[in-house]
Amino acid sequence: MAIELATICGSDLHTCLGRRNQSVPAILGHEAVGRVVATGSGRDLEAGARITWSIADSCGTCPACTRDHLPQKCHRLFKYGHADTSDGTGLNGCYASHILLREGTHIVPVPDEIPNEVIAPANCALATMINAVSHLPENCRSVVIQGAGLLGLYGCALLQERGIQTVYCVDVNPARLRRIPEFGGIPINGRDPDYLQTIVTETGHGVDAVVETAGTVEVVPDGFDLLRTGGTYVLVGLVHPRSQLDVTAERIIRQCLTIHGIHNYAPAHLDEAVMFLLRSRGSYPFETLLSEPYPLEKLQEAVAEADTGTWHRVALRP
Ligand SMILES: [Zn+2]
Ligand SMILES: [Zn+2]
């Protein structure tokens, strides 16, 4: 597989800045789009086909893959861009000219209508949000998304397409707040001291669901306050150790809440991500969330640019 475009995910940024452990030597990068150079036996793919692929390589036979329907938690799991290359897995990261995809990886051809700038982050952030919103109750009419990063903006667009009337998106960064309406959300400034009361009043008794994508534990008490009795809380972004929650079981019980933790996704979610981008093309300016691509040899500069937070994703081109 020849990489055409890769993007720097938040998890890669954490690794590069020393906030996340990674054994070395490693080739980072898991969000990308590329073209097939050659295939092994058993793959029905033409050389030159443009493809996206699951970040998890799963065995397909263990209890997680079969009984639990959580192939992303396969007992023999391998994840691209997070593995030590000296363990025999070889060319497994996307900040490279080429990557070797494995037998248990779900591969999805990318239709010509979807540009590289739109598809590149789909195999991490978008597919994860497809998984997250699939856990919202069917009769959902109002949702708060916490965080207007890439996950949050995908969430706004997915919920608008689903026909949910009221999708609030809370952030504290003015530049990010300005982008929310372009993706179908209602921007809410989290620094506004009245924002909780405003949402609870507008929705009557609180929202049906809250989706946390912010990755900061400080937003969680607001999430519980925003939920109606019987509401659903979906946690997506807080996938790091500094995520101790201060909530009583009594509150969860008395408020009759459902809580879902979402980590990565299954192959069907990646299929749906590609179909969503095809259906919604022209409706949302996803391509404007990426920087101009940096050449791969300027990876250090690209990581520094990603750390400024100017872009939802900084792009890299081999
Ligand atoms: Zn990622
Ligand atoms: Zn498995």
57 Cα: distance to centroid of ligand 2 (angstroms) = 9
User: Which ligand does the CA of 81 lie closest to?
Assistant: 1
109 Cα: distance to centroid of ligand 2 (angstroms) = 23
User: Which ligand does the CA of 68 lie closest to?
Assistant: 2
20 Cα: distance to centroid of ligand 1 (angstroms) = 13
- 136-261, what's its fold? Rossmann fold (3.40.50)
User: Which ligand does the CA of 74 lie closest to?
Assistant: 2
pLDDT bracket for residue 84 (50, 70, 90):
confident
- Residues near ion ligand 2 (Cβ under 5 Å): 58-59, 62, 65, 74
98 Cα: distance to centroid of ligand 1 (angstroms) = 18
pLDDT tens track for 108-131: 999 999 999 999 999 999 999 999
The pLDDT of residue 14: 87
Q: Are 91 and 80 contacting, i.e. CB atoms less than 8 angstroms apart?
A: no
User: Which ligand does the CA of 264 lie closest to?
Assistant: 1
262 Cα: distance to centroid of ligand 2 (angstroms) = 18
185 Cα: distance to centroid of ligand 2 (angstroms) = 37
Q: Is the pLDDT of residue 99 over 80?
A: yes
pLDDT bracket for residue 175 (50, 70, 90):
very high
pTM of this prediction?
A: 0.96
Q: In what order do the strands lie in the sheet with 166-171?
A: 186-189, 166-171, 142-146, 207-212, 227-235, 258-261
The pLDDT of residue 240: 87
Tokens for 238, please give them: 């807080």
14 Cα: distance to centroid of ligand 1 (angstroms) = 11
pLDDT tens track for 210-243: 999 999 999 999 999 999 999 999 999 999 888 9
3-state DSSP call for residue 200? helix
Those residues with Cβ within 8 angstroms of residue 173's Cβ, 6 or more apart along the chain or in another chain: 148, 309
Question: CATH 3.90.180.10 residue ranges in the chain?
Answer: 2-124+265-317
Q: Are strands 50-57 and 31-35 parallel, antiparallel or unpaired?
A: antiparallel
User: Which ligand does the CA of 20 lie closest to?
Assistant: 1
Name which of 70, 76, 85, 77 is nearest 22 in CA terms: 85
Residue 237 vs residues 47, 55, 165, 223, 243: alpha-carbon distances, Å: 36, 17, 24, 13, 10
The mean pLDDT value for 261-279 works out to 98
Q: Are strands 2-7 and 315-317 parallel, antiparallel or unpaired?
A: antiparallel
Pick the CATH number of 2-124+265-317 from 3.40.50.2000, 3.90.180.10, 3.30.530.20, 3.40.50.300: 3.90.180.10
Question: CATH 3.40.50.720 residue ranges in the chain?
Answer: 136-261
Burial class (CB in 10 A: 0-12, 13-18, 19+), 115: middle
